Amino acid sequence: MQTPPEIQFQGMAGTPDIEDAIATHVAQLEEFWGRITACRVVLKAPSQHHRKGGLYEVHIRLALPDGREVNVERTPPKDKRHSDLAFALNDAFKHARRQLEDQVRRTRGEVKHHEGPPIGTVVRLDPSGEFGFLEASDGEEIYFHRNSVLDDGFSRLTVGSRVTFAEESGDKGTQATTVKLLGSMASEHDRSVGHDPLRTFKPSTRMTASGHSRRLRDVRVMSSLPPTPDIRFDGSAR
């Protein structure tokens, strides 16, 4: 990398554990493809009004040769797992790796061929009945809204349902559209009664702090708030 990775904290402190985790993720991206020229990571804490149970925002920008870029903004709507900082970071860098792989394929002139629409598995449904998440064949979890399910089929979905879908990039990251329950499973559901398709989200560990400025090894770290007591990356106080 031509310049040291830049890490910016907004509304929270940068602790050694967090910085080390980010540096490890960045190193893994560089190991995969050594032509990344610059990297900027912005980590934003939940707003003051939503500290308890609020969602972390993680923005990642990778500069690549020939003006190419990888841009990731991970704050899936209403995904409570993003109140866990470790999960939010892992999820954002997973998507950055996926985008980087696509860019590398384009650079090498490789084109992915699909015989048909991708197939995924429903892994979670929100109790509100408004949205859920499916798992694609590569292990990525993708958000979908009930209005994206064809034929008013959201109520027929259960955890484990197999569906076809299309992907699109929205303001909050990748989302699934034109979600369609596969035929045999749709028929089986229509014959069943009394099955509750909803699975409750489990709240995850929350981690908050207020910020300070520091420089860690070859990583540039920025924030503008006074320091607070050290906090472990797993969320427990030291």
Model-level pTM?
0.55
- Distance in angstroms (rounded) separating the CA atoms of residues 227 and 230: 9
Q: Environment class of residue 65 by beta-carbon count within 10 Å: exposed (0-12), middle (13-18) or buried (19+)?
A: exposed
Residue 191 in this model has a pLDDT that exceeds 50? no
**Is the separation of the CB atoms in 148 and 178 below 8 Å?**
yes
Residue 208 in this model has a pLDDT that exceeds 90? no
Contacts within 8 Å (CB) and 24+ apart, 228-231: 228/13, 230/15, 231/13, 231/15, 231/17, 231/207
Residue 156 in this model has a pLDDT that exceeds 80? yes
Residue 141 in this model has a pLDDT that exceeds 90? no
Residue 162 in this model has a pLDDT that exceeds 90? yes
Q: How confident is the model at residue 76 (pLDDT cuts 50, 70, 90)?
A: low
Edge-to-edge strands, sheet with 215-216: 69-74, 57-63, 38-44, 6-10, 219-222, 215-216
Structural domains for the chain: 6-110+208-222 (3.30.160.100), 119-191 (2.40.50.140)
